[in-house]
């Protein structure tokens, strides 16, 4: 969710984080809470908290846990989804609709005109907290923005249920928190990042 409160001029000497200029004088104070408030390139106040997903258009995919296949699909989308600490049902609803309606499959004219629903494709959703990793400092990613299991599991499961309702078919999944092996054939290749709070990426 992006909240705009009018124009706020930016100090050109302030370091930007992911296209956002932090408002806090001590960046660590803001980051410690799992939230960063700041100013985007248009001078609007924003709150950078989100559900984020990396989606790949595939001709087939499967996920294994301990050598056992737990989910597999044919043509469709593989979704690596991460839940942020402050995500809500609104983020789930936006993400589920976008996954089903995003037109990234090739139509008769050779353009990306068709959605997952249009082609009656399948969906494989994998929990992937590392999608929210922060790499701006040092060489070891930080995952402080990723929600822990008590928060993340209900929203992850809600995303799966909502996508199933919109598609009218079961959604394949892995096992939350497990060590998984994901195999896929990316068709295109086509890979897109979705972010429920920064809808312009």
Catalytic residues: 128-130
SS (H, E, C) 139-171: CCCECCCECCHHHHHHHHHHHHHHHHHHHCCCC
Q: State whether residue 89 is helix, strand or coil.
A: helix
Q: At what angle do helices 89-101 and 149-167 cross, to 10 degrees?
A: 40
Nearest CA-CA partner of 51 in 140, 151, 118: 151
* 187, 59 Cβ separation under 8 angstroms: yes
């Amino acid at each position: 969710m992006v909240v705009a409160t009018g124009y706020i001029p930016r100090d050109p000497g302030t370091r930007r984080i992911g296209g956002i200029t932090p408002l806090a004088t001590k960046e660590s104070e803001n980051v410690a809470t799992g939230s960063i408030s700041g100013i985007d390139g248009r001078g609007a106040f924003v709150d950078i908290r989100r559900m984020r997903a990396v989606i790949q258009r595939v001709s087939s995919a499967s996920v294994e846990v301990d050598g056992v296949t737990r989910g597999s699909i044919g043509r469709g989308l593989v979704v690596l989804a991460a839940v942020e600490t402050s995500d809500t049902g609104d983020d789930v609803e936006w993400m589920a609709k976008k996954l089903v309606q995003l037109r990234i499959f090739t139509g008769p004219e050779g353009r990306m005109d068709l959605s997952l629903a249009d082609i009656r494709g399948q969906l494989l959703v994998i929990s992937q907290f590392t999608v929210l990793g922060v790499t701006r400092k040092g060489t070891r990613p930080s995952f402080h923005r990723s929600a822990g299991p008590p928060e993340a599991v209900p929203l992850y499961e809600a995303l799966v249920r909502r996508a199933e309702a919109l598609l009218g078919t079961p959604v394949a999944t892995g096992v939350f928190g497990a060590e998984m092996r994901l195999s896929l054939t990316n068709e295109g290749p086509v890979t897109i990042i979705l972010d429920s709070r920064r809808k312009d990426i």
